[in-house]
Structures are given as structure tokens and as C-alpha cells.
């Protein structure tokens, strides 16, 4: 099973989500799932994570290296069991890439306390503190993400 987290440039939110999901799945004893992350844009291809994202992950005890940003493809969408976007804009862009995809969702849809359709705000434009808020938002959605992964595994 493959789960891909997607944001604009694959240097902040989506690689944070990938690493949070890895640890959450391991802690929950959830196996046979591979987490990855990607961008909808090509603006940061090959770049490492934003240093503020790296610092927030490191401070919270998550894996933070290595990382090189890449742009999602129609094949990657088709091969994934679940593709989770950070914002509605990312969903729209992926629907343009893969119009028939039925495996797309929004991360905040998995957080019962989040406003429906709210998405995870982009911390890139703010201070380093915003990256910790991003980690918080992603962590809040992770139990729901893992529940969806379990459901998909049970369907196989």
C-alpha cells in the first residue's frame, strides 16, 4: 500500500506529513504501507526540505533527512492507494493531472476537529513558529489517516 502526501513545492507540508505518518504507523503497529510526498508544482524539484521544516521535525524527534522535492505524476497518483493533499488547490491540480483518480483526499478531512475543507495553511510565508503549527495540524489528522489506511488494507 502506498500513501502520498502532496503540497505545492514538496519542501514543507508534504514531507512533514510523510515523516509524521511513518512514525505514527510504526507506533500503531501498522505495516505494509509506504509513505511518500510530492509537489503539484515544479518550482522546487530536487531541493531539500525548508530548513524551518527540518528544524521542526528534528525538535519533535521525527526523521528529517534525506529529502529531494519531486513533482507528482499521473502514474504516481494511479499507483497510490491514497493521495492526500494539503489544500483544495492541490486537489484541483491533481484532478487535472489524473482526471479519473478516485484516491484523492484532503488531509484535514481526517481531523474531526478541523473545519471541513480548511486545508493545512502554508507555513513557508511565515515565521519558524508556523512550522510547529503545521506539525500540530498534521499530527491531529494522523489517527484518521491511519484508520483510512486500515480500511483500505481490509478491502484488499
The single-letter DSSP state of residue 112 is: T
Report CA torsion sign: 25, 27, 30, 31: positive
CB contact set of 34 (below 8 Å; sequence gap of 6+): 1, 2, 3
Residue tagged active-site, from 2, 23, 122, 148: 122
Residue 7 designated active-site: yes
Residue 13 designated active-site: yes
Residue tagged active-site, from 12, 13, 19, 50: 13
Count H helices, E strands: the chain?
5, 4
Instruction: Return d(Cα 141, Cα 145) in angstroms, integer.
Output: 6
Residue 52 designated active-site: no
Residue tagged active-site, from 7, 12, 19, 111: 7
- In the block, cell 493545512 appears at 120
Instruction: Return d(Cα 2, Cα 54) in angstroms, integer.
Output: 23
Q: What residues are annotated to the active site? A: 7, 13, 122
Amino acid at each position: 500500500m502506498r500513501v502520498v502526501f502532496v503540497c505545492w513545492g514538496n519542501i514543507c507540508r508534504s514531507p512533514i506529513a510523510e515523516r509524521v505518518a511513518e512514525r505514527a504507523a510504526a507506533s500503531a503497529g501498522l505495516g505494509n504501507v509506504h509513505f511518500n510526498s510530492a509537489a503539484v508544482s515544479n518550482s522546487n524539484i530536487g531541493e531539500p526540505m525548508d530548513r524551518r521544516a527540518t528544524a521542526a521535525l528534528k525538535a519533535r524527534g521525527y526523521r528529517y533527512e534525506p529529502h529531494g522535492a519531486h513533482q507528482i505524476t499521473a502514474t504516481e497518483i494511479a499507483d497510490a492507494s491514497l493521495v492526500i493533499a494539503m489544500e483544495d488547490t492541490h486537489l484541483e491540480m491533481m484532478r487535472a493531472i489524473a482526471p479519473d483518480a478516485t484516491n484523492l483526499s484532503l488531509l484535514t478531512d481526517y481531523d474531526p476537529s478541523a473545519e471541513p475543507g480548511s486545508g493545512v495553511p502554508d507555513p513557508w510565508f511565515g515565521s519558524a513558529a508556523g512550522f510547529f503549527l503545521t506539525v500540530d495540524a498534521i499530527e491531529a489528522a494522523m489517527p484518521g489517516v491511519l484508520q483510512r489506511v486500515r480500511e483500505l488494507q481490509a478491502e484488499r
